[in-house]
Amino acid sequence: DAGVIQSPRHEVTEMGQEVTLRCKPISGHDYLFWYRQTMMRGLELLIYFNNNVPIDDSGMPEDRFSAKMPNASFSTLKIQPSEPRDSAVYFCASSPDRGLSGANVLTFGAGSRLTVL
């Protein structure tokens, strides 16, 4: 398996523009997570899906952020309109479970570095 695939790796955009980040989880993993990494807050969970259904989006900072998972092999995180404070590295991760049983762990993608000017 190629692991968790994220695109784009780097995105530079201007304030007010729409940004779409994409993720392909590991085949067979039922859980998909979106994290954001910043210096101030470290790795923070934005939202996670189970079998394509959003379960917990309490970490989504505001209504400008939305995430979808139309099928088991694809998810998007959209920011509209984007703002400079959204600049961060966004990680997608997948797992066989929510991490509540056994020692199953998250497998992260390489991340998408977003810069909003």
Q: Show the site string, 61-80: x = touches another protein by CB under 8 A, - = not.
A: --------------------
Contact call for residue 111 and another protein (CB under 8 A): yes
Length of the chain: 117
* Choices 19-27, 63-71, 80-88, 108-116 (CB under 8 A): range interacting with another protein: 108-116
12 counts as binding another protein under rule CB under 8 A: no
Q: Which residues contact 81 (CB under 8 A, 6 or more apart)?
A: 15, 16, 17, 18, 64
Closest to another protein by CB, 64 or 113? 113
30 near another protein, judged by CB under 8 A = no
DSSP state of 6: E
The reply on whether position 43 binds another protein by CB under 8 A is yes
Q: Count other C-beta atoms under 10 Å from residue 17's C-beta.
A: 13
Q: Could you give the 3-state DSSP secondary structure of residue 94? A: strand
Closest distance to another protein from the beta carbon of 31 (Å): 8
Record the tokens describing residue 13, joined without a space: 């955009």
CA dihedral over 101, 103, 106, 107, signed as positive or negative: negative
Q: Which residues bind another protein (CB under 8 A)?
A: 4, 33, 35, 39-45, 48, 56, 91, 93, 98-100, 103, 105-111
